[in-house]
Amino acid sequence: MRVIRNNVELEIDEDTLEQYKKEGYSPLENLNTKEDILDTNEKKTLKEMTVPELKEIAKERRIDNVDSLTKKELLALLTEQLWF
């Protein structure tokens, strides 16, 4: 099962869903549109995040070789992955 919070998407076991909900995550299955995804407890946009924060998100999404990427490259990569 996939959950999302603050532009961070995770794959979790369904039996841990309640714990993740308490931490502010929402199941992706319940989100139908891009607007729904953006509205889920979003405190910072990707553009507002620092390079280390963007790299952490990329690594959580299992994107390799992000250590040498610039902020512009990370934004492009994460934005593309979020919608496709």
Shared domain for 32 and 48, answered yes or no, is: no
Structural domains in the chain (count): 2
Whether pTM exceeds 0.75: no
Shared domain for 53 and 83, answered yes or no, is: yes
The phi-psi region of residue 42 (left if phi > 0; otherwise alpha if psi is between -120 and 50; otherwise beta) is beta
Give CA 77 to chain center in angstroms.
12
Which residue segment(s) compose the domain that 13 sits in? 1-43
Shared domain for 39 and 61, answered yes or no, is: no
Shared domain for 49 and 39, answered yes or no, is: no
The phi-psi region of residue 24 (left if phi > 0; otherwise alpha if psi is between -120 and 50; otherwise beta) is left
Please write the tens of the pLDDT for every residue from 2-57. Answer: 888 877 888 888 889 898 888 888 887 655 455 555 554 446 788 888 899 888 88
Shared domain for 1 and 39, answered yes or no, is: yes
Please write the tens of the pLDDT for every residue from 65-84. Answer: 899 999 999 988 888 765 54
Shared domain for 1 and 38, answered yes or no, is: yes
